[in-house]
Amino acid sequence: MHKVIYDTDPGVDDAMALLFLHRHPEIDLIGITTIFGNASIETTTRNALFLKREWNIAAPVAKGASVTIDPSRHERPWPTMVHGENGLGDMPVPDVIDLPVDPRPAHRFIIETVRANPGEVTLVAVGRMTNLALALKEDPEIAGLVKDVVIMGGNFYVPGNVSPVAEANIHGDPEAADIVLTAPWKVVVIGLDVTAVTTMSRSYLGDMAAKGDKAVKQLDELSQSYIDFYKHAVEDGMMVHDSCASVYVVAPELFKTITGSVRVVCGGIADGQTVIKPDGRRFPPGDWDGLPSQIVATGIESEKVIGLIRETLLRV
Ligand code: BDR
Ligand code: CA
């Protein structure tokens, strides 16, 4: 069993990944922590509570950061053209969900849960890395107590999606991402190199909805405008970014990876760019030296990943 804390900014693709984590028989979802990104922290937290209620998820929800780790960073408008005004593709969601939020801020929830389960917790982070960076700042020892960190973020040998060189989750808080990627824990980086080629078509999702229960039908409903948005890049389908990271937890054999130290560019025209120094490559002394070697996905068996998502979501 993999004990997972899911750090998320729901978010259309975040919602699918949440249902995957909830339904996979080898995953024990022990916490949901929210982060701003696809919408404000109020909205992403409300959405997490909504999905928890609709899908009967037992895991507590803890509310996370509302601003970048360096609060002087300038915030850009929420990506409503991607995830809708309400972060869930504008499906009807009540303003307030009558469920309690964990009293701790997300980063402290992470620290305390990791300390209570030493060596057992996998952090799956599919939004900005702010909560994880805050947890490391407050309690650096947790790096040695976490089992694995799997993140959706970054791009290495392909273009970005919010700038020619940067991916949204990393670009949204580059300083936080650099802290997370250079800390002494094992991070698996599932970036656009693999998520941008892992797409689910509208008809495939529709077929799942026809066979599935209420949760899968809701997923189909909330994904429609996201699929419309992806018209520029995908033929009538969507990239399932965050689900790829969740799939890695249970099926790492479906990914091809390389290892090396990873840094994030902070500032300038390449703000938020992720750069790996692959292990074994020699360069003059530089900013990648002496850092932990992380695992970066460069290949994926997309069809099998999509098939596993389907099989898992249709389990009840
Ligand atoms: C990432 O950014 C968000 O819009 C998605 O939820 C995903 O986590 C893709 O770049
Ligand atoms: Ca996300």
Contact yes or no for 122/28 (Cβ under 8 A): no
User: Distance from the CA of 243 to the center of ligand 2, in angstroms?
Assistant: 9
Q: What is the mean pLDDT of residues 235-263?
A: 97
* Ligand 1 in reach of 88 Cβ (< 6 A): no
Alpha-carbon distance of 7 to 315, in angstroms, equals: 23
**Can you give the pLDDT at residue 76?**
85
Q: Provide, rounded to the nearest whole percent, the portion of the chain with pLDDT above 70.
A: 100
* Ligand 1 in reach of 312 Cβ (< 6 A): no
Alpha-carbon distance of 57 to 51, in angstroms, equals: 8
Catalytic residue among 24, 83, 107, 241: 241
From the CA of 11, give the closest atom in ligand 1.
Answer: 6
Q: Which ligand is nearest to the CA of 89?
A: 1
Contact yes or no for 148/123 (Cβ under 8 A): yes
Phi and psi at residue 59, in whole multiples of 5°?
Answer: -55, 140
Give the count of domains, the chain: 1
Q: Which ligand is nearest to the CA of 162?
A: 1
Phi and psi at residue 117, in whole multiples of 5°?
Answer: -135, 60
* Ligand 1 in reach of 11 Cβ (< 6 A): yes
What value does the mean pLDDT of the chain take?
A: 97
* Ligand 1 in reach of 128 Cβ (< 6 A): no
CB-hemisphere CA count at 13 Å for 154?
31
Q: What is the mean pLDDT of residues 260-288?
A: 97
Rg (CA), the chain: 18
- The string of pLDDT tens digits covering residues 153-173 is 999 999 999 999 999 999 999
* Ligand 1 in reach of 168 Cβ (< 6 A): yes
- The string of pLDDT tens digits covering residues 64-115 is 999 999 988 988 899 999 999 999 999 999 999 999 999 999 999 999 999 9
Alpha-carbon distance of 51 to 49, in angstroms, equals: 6
- The string of pLDDT tens digits covering residues 200-241 is 999 999 999 999 999 999 999 999 999 999 999 988 999 999
Ligand 1: residue of 14, 21, 40, 152 to mutate (most ligand atoms within 8 A of CB) is: 152
Q: Is 241 a catalytic residue?
A: yes
User: Distance from the CA of 79 to the center of ligand 1, in angstroms?
Assistant: 10
**Residue 228 CB partners (closer than 8 Å, separation 6+):** none
- Judge if pTM exceeds 0.85: yes
Q: Which domain, by its residues, includes 60?
A: 2-313
Phi and psi at residue 33, in whole multiples of 5°?
Answer: -115, 140
CATH number assigned to the domain comprising residue 37? 3.90.245.10
Ligand 1: residue of 6, 7, 8, 13 to mutate (most ligand atoms within 8 A of CB) is: 13
* Ligand 1 in reach of 161 Cβ (< 6 A): yes
